Copies of this chain bind each other. A is one copy, B any other.
Amino acid sequence: MERTREMTSIGADWDKFYSAEISSKTPFFSRDGRLYDCLFAQQLNRELLERLFKTAGDLREITQKKEGADFVSSLLSHKRGMLYFVQPSTRTFLSFLNACHILGIKTSEIRDTSTSSEVKGETPEDTVRTFSSYVDLIIMRHPAPGFVEKTAWLMNRTGRPVPIINGGSGKDQHPTQALLDMYTLYRSFNGSVDGRKIVMVGDLKRGRTVRSLSYLMKNYKNISLAFVSPKEFKMEPDILEFLNKHSISFIETEDFGSVMGDADAIYMTRIQDEHDKTGESKKVDYSPFYFKKEHLKILKKNCVIMHPLPRRHEIEPAVDEDPRAMYWRQERNGMWARAALIAHIFGVDSKIR
């Protein structure tokens, strides 16, 4: 697992490293043709995505039977993982924790920094390095942008690095959410994502998931996107530029009804009012961007309805019983996709089928 001299030199100065293009630093976080650290959605290219999706599918099939589940949980039974989640997030936490358990990894949890030595004046970098002494993997969620990446960078410069998986860092990156969303599309479409029409609805300006998912679209051919949002919360220009650059077609509209009937997937999101500065969310009528039971009859037979959850009122609970409601399975997909990612990082995915 040696990195090349070139990568080591790239990595010598954190500030320089941090401000570099992501594409230039991804080699630093890879080993032997596999991810070593998973930090950015940009690390997920089509080949890797489909490899992970294959593994996730195999995992869920094998574990249907007790013998298979016991086999899978023997794969990494010699590893210890830590979930270092100092930002509230029960669902991502549980998803990763159970992904670890599926693979037999023994887990430790840090869910609150108030009990840690950080109170005694230790730097966060020292704290994480200490914790890394005890384990073989750290899955980390942290409110400060760049902190997870810095941890991975630091670890890679020590004599005993451990892989770091980003479970959400600030507002910037949450790559396994993008992974599970993409996996849900892939699985819902039986593997044929190319050519699909995907509608994203809601607070597109501040929603991290719709941004990441848009980035991942460059891995597929002939995708059409429709962005449906109130004018106050339109998709940001950087994403639109990215789509133009990669010749991915998209439209923007406030008229949800106009794009429903044609959609292969509808990705609903909630209003992100925790990012409000002056209560701007309250001034917007969000109800035209709700999915209601009555809309079900407009949808194509195989269209899927997704939502990263938690939801508020964006999707009427009566929709839950429709077979096209995919959001609960989407959560479950997350656990399997994360298990596949961990298996990949440790190179045991090849042992599964």
Contacts and interface: CB of A to CB of B under 8 A. Distances in A.
A77 B88 contact: no
A190 interface: no
Interface string A145-186: 000000000000010100000000000000000000000000
A63 B78 contact: yes
A311 B117 CA distance: 10
Contact of A309 (B63, B130, B328): B130
A168 B101 CA distance: 27
Contact of A130 (B78, B102, B110, B331): B331
A77 to B, nearest CB: 6
How many identical subunits does the complex contain? 3
What is the size category of the interface that chain A forms with chain B?
35 or more
A73 interface: yes
Interface of A: 63, 66, 69-70, 73-74, 77-78, 80, 82, 88-91, 94-95, 97-98, 101-102, 106, 108, 110-111, 114-117, 119-122, 126-127, 129-131, 133-135, 158, 160, 270, 274, 309-312, 328, 331-332, 335
Contacts of A98: 80, 106, 108, 134-135
B111 A115 contact: yes
Given A88-B115, A126-B311, A311-B122, A134 B80 contact: no
Contacts of A120: 270, 274, 310, 312
Contacts of A91: 116-117, 130-131
Nearest to A82: B94
